Amino acid sequence: MKPLISKDIIRGHTATIVLNILSQGDSYGYEIAKRVKELSHNDYELNEATLYTVFRRLEKNGDIVGYWGDETQGGRRKYYQITTQGKQTLTDNIEAWNFAKKVIDELILGRINNHE
């Protein structure tokens, strides 16, 4: 049985996850939720309420912009696009994640050398 990923562990990284997906092309909510599930090999799902909270925060911060698509595929969808600032935020967040991952690995897996 696979361990579950705590929502607390991912919570601080949902914006980075969304920015990563949008850095690969404009998308809309349902499609982004599908990509999260796909990228995690079905090990994690981002619920819609969380996703739309992230969209609002990223838009307010200037990291993404939203626009309405046309109606050729049924109802109008709101698409999101990463901005230049959003690309920099993504880069900064990835650097912060890599640093945090290194420190946490050392704290969780590291052994203390007892000097007498």
Residue 89 sits in which domain range? 7-109
pLDDT, tens digit, 9 for 90 and up, residues 66-80: 999 887 766 789 999
pLDDT, tens digit, 9 for 90 and up, residues 4-45: 777 788 888 999 999 999 999 999 999 999 999 999 999 899
In the prediction, which pLDDT does 73 show? Answer: 63
Task: Find the CATH number of the domain harbouring 34.
Answer: 1.10.10.10
- pLDDT band for 56, please (50, 70, 90 cuts): very high
Residue 39, domain member (yes or no): yes
Q: Which of 32, 18, 11, 31 is nearest to 82 (CA)?
A: 18
- pLDDT band for 115, please (50, 70, 90 cuts): low
Q: What span, in angstroms and rounded, lies between the C-alpha atoms of 88 and 84?
A: 7
Residue 67, domain member (yes or no): yes
Residue 1, domain member (yes or no): no
In the prediction, which pLDDT does 32 show? Answer: 97
